[in-house]
Amino acid sequence: MSKDYYKILGVDKNADEAEIKKAYRQKAHQHHPDKSGGDEAEFKRVSEAYSVLSDDQKRAKYDRFGENYDQAGAGAGFGDFSQFTGAAGGQGFNMGDIFSEFFSGGARRATKEATGRDVQIDAELSFKESVFGTPKTLSVSRQTDCSQCDGERSEDGAMKECDRCEGSGQVEAVQQTMLGRVKTAQTCRQCFGTGEVPENPCSRCGGSGVTKESEEIEIKIPAGVSDGEMVRIRGKGEKAPGGRAGDLYVKLHVAGSNEFSKDGQDLKKSLPVSFSEAALGTKKKITTLDGGDVTLKIPAGITHGELLKIKGKGIPDRQGNRGDLLVRIRISVPEKLSGEQKKLLEKLKESGL
C-alpha cells in the first residue's frame, strides 16, 4: 500500500484502541498548525490515519484492501448498477465512467487553487485617527510562506513528479450511490494540487511550504471609519499549502472624545459663552480637531443650544470631501455672584432685561 496509516501514527499493526488513541494525541499535538513549528500537512495525514484506525469496520477493510479500502467490493451485491449489459451481444458499458465524464469533463483539468482561511485581528484607534485615517503597524500571527524555504517546499529547489496523482494535481475518488459508482476529482493531498513534491522536503515546514509566522504588517486606516467597522486587506490571511492566502480583517475599536462627537460627516462640539457675551455678541477662538484655531463670530442675541457652522472642518470622506464643524452654544449661568454683579443685574432686571 502506498500510504501506511500504522507507520504515520507510529504504532504496530496489532496496536489496541488505547495505543492508537495515545499515538494520535501525541502526533496531533506535535503537528497542530496553530502550534509553533506545527505542520498542517502532517496534521491532516495523522488525522486521516486516526479516522480509519479508530473505526473497527474501516480498520478491518483497510487491513484487507489497503488505502483504497473504501472502494473495495463496490461492484458486488444487489443494487450495483455500475455495469449494464446491452441487449445485443452482451456488450456492456460502465455507468461509473459516465458519471466520471459528467463530473470531470471527460479529461484531466487544472485543480482549482486552494485558498487559506481568513484571519481577524483588532486595532485600537483614537477619535482623531478614526476621523482622518492613519497608518497602523499591526502584529499578525498567521500561516504564511515558510521563512526557511520561502514557500518553495524544498531544501534545494529540486522537485519531482508526485507519484500519487502522477503529476495531475488531482486524484480520483469513487463514491458508491444507488446508480453505481460515481467518480470525482479531488485535490491531491500529497502535492497540494501542484503535481510536484520536493525531493528533499524543507526541514522546517516538512515540504508544505507554509509555517506559522508572526509578522508586522503596515496597513492604511481610511478616513471616516466608525467603531466596530471592518477593514479588509486582501491576501494577508493564512496561506494554503500549494495555494494562495486568504484575507485579513481588522476590526476597529474607536475611543470616544470628551470634546467632539460625530454626526454623519459633521463634527459637533459645545462652546460655553457668558450671558453678556450671548446678549452683546463676541468673537471666540475655536480649536478644531485638526489642531488649528478658527475665530468664530458669536452674533448678538444668540440663544442657548443654537448651532453655528464652521465649513470644511468636519469628517473627510474617502474622496477627501469634508463635512462641517457644528458649534453648539451653551450659555452659562454663574452659580455665585458678587455684590456688584447683583446690583448690575437688578438694574438690568428693572429695565426689562
Contact 182, 175 (CB under 8 A): yes
In a domain, residue 97? The reply is no
Task: Give mean pLDDT, residues 40-45.
Answer: 84
* pLDDT, tens digit, 9 for 90 and up, residues 194-232: 889 999 999 999 999 999 988 899 999 999 999 999 999
The reply to whether 205 and 286 lie within a common domain is no
* pLDDT, tens digit, 9 for 90 and up, residues 111-134: 457 888 999 999 999 999 999 999
In a domain, residue 91? The reply is no
Q: Of 257, 306, 239, nearest to 278 (Cα)? A: 306
The reply to whether 199 and 272 lie within a common domain is no
- Give the pLDDT confidence score for residue 52 in this predicted structure: 86
Q: How far apart are CA 23 and CA 273, in angstroms?
A: 77
Range of the domain at 12: 1-69
* pLDDT, tens digit, 9 for 90 and up, residues 229-268: 999 999 999 998 888 899 999 999 999 999 999 999 999 9
The reply to whether 130 and 243 lie within a common domain is yes
- Give the pLDDT confidence score for residue 70 in this predicted structure: 63
Least confident of 13-22, 29-38, 153-162: 29-38
* pLDDT, tens digit, 9 for 90 and up, residues 280-318: 999 999 999 988 899 999 999 999 999 999 999 999 987
Round the average pLDDT of the chain to a whole number and report it: 82
In a domain, residue 86? The reply is no
Least confident of 72-76, 171-175, 264-268: 72-76
Taking the whole predicted model, whether its pTM rises above 0.95 is answered as no
Q: How far apart are CA 54 and CA 160, in angstroms?
A: 33
Q: At what angle do helices 40-53 and 56-65 cross, to 10 degrees?
A: 100
The reply to whether 59 and 139 lie within a common domain is no
